[in-house]
Amino acid sequence: MTLFQMIPNYILINGIAIGGTVFVIFLVYRKLSSSFQKRLTAYFLKAACVSLIISLAALAVTLSMMQFLLHSGMWDFFYELGYGYLIAAEYLPSVLAVAFPMICFVVSFSVRVNHRVRYVEYLSQEIQKIREEGFGRSMELQGDDEITQLCAVINEMSVQLREKEEREKRQQQSKNELITNVSHDLRSPLTSIIGYVELLKETGSEDRQRFDEYMEVVERRLSGLNGLINELFEYTKLNSADRFPDMEKRNVLELLRHILYEYKILMEAEGLTLSWQLGAKSHVAYINTQQMVRVFQNLLDNARRYADRSAPVTVTARETGRLHICITNRLTDGHGIEPDRIFERFYCGDRARSTPQSSGLGLAIVKRIVELHGGEANASLQGQELSIHLFLN
Q: List pLDDT tens digits, range 112-122.
A: 777 777 888 88
Backbone angles phi, psi at 145, to 5 degrees: -130, -165
Q: What is the DSSP letter of 270?
A: T
Residue % of the chain over a pLDDT of 90: 17
Q: What is the DSSP letter of 35?
A: G
| 4 band by pLDDT with thresholds 50, 70 and 90 | very low
How many domains, in total, are found in the chain?
A: 3
What pLDDT, on the 0 to 100 scale, is given for residue 37?
A: 53
| Statement: residue 351 has pLDDT above 50 | no
391 compared with 63, residue with greater pLDDT:
391
Query: Which of 61-65, 127-131, 136-140, 256-260 tops mean pLDDT?
Result: 256-260
Cα–Cα distance for residue pair 390/393, rounded to 1 Å? 10
3-state secondary structure 293-332: HHHHHHHHHHHHHHECCCCCEEEEEEECCCEEEEEEEEEC
- With 0-12 / 13-18 / 19 or more C-beta atoms within 10 angstroms meaning exposed / middle / buried, residue 329 is buried
Question: 9 with 118, same domain?
Answer: yes
In a domain, 199, yes or no: yes
Domain boundary among 183, 210, 240: 240
CATH number for the domain harbouring residue 216 = 1.10.287.130
Tens-place pLDDT, residues 184-218: 667 777 888 888 888 887 776 677 788 888 888 88
Question: 188 with 251, same domain?
Answer: no
Cα–Cα distance for residue pair 215/223, rounded to 1 Å? 12
| Statement: residue 78 has pLDDT above 60 | no
In a domain, 177, yes or no: yes
Question: 205 with 262, same domain?
Answer: no
The residue segments making up the domain with residue 197 are 163-240
**Are the CB atoms for 346 and 353 separated by under 8 Å?**
yes
CATH number for the domain harbouring residue 333 = 3.30.565.10
Residue % of the chain over a pLDDT of 70: 68
Tens-place pLDDT, residues 22-76: 677 666 666 655 555 556 666 666 677 777 777 777 766 766 666 666 566 655 6
| Statement: residue 273 has pLDDT above 70 | yes
Cα–Cα distance for residue pair 160/171, rounded to 1 Å? 16
Question: 75 with 170, same domain?
Answer: no
**Are the CB atoms for 326 and 350 separated by under 8 Å?**
no
Rg (CA), the chain: 42
Cα–Cα distance for residue pair 384/146, rounded to 1 Å? 61
244 compared with 15, residue with greater pLDDT:
244
Query: Considering the chain, what is the average pLDDT of its residues?
Result: 77
Question: 219 with 258, same domain?
Answer: no
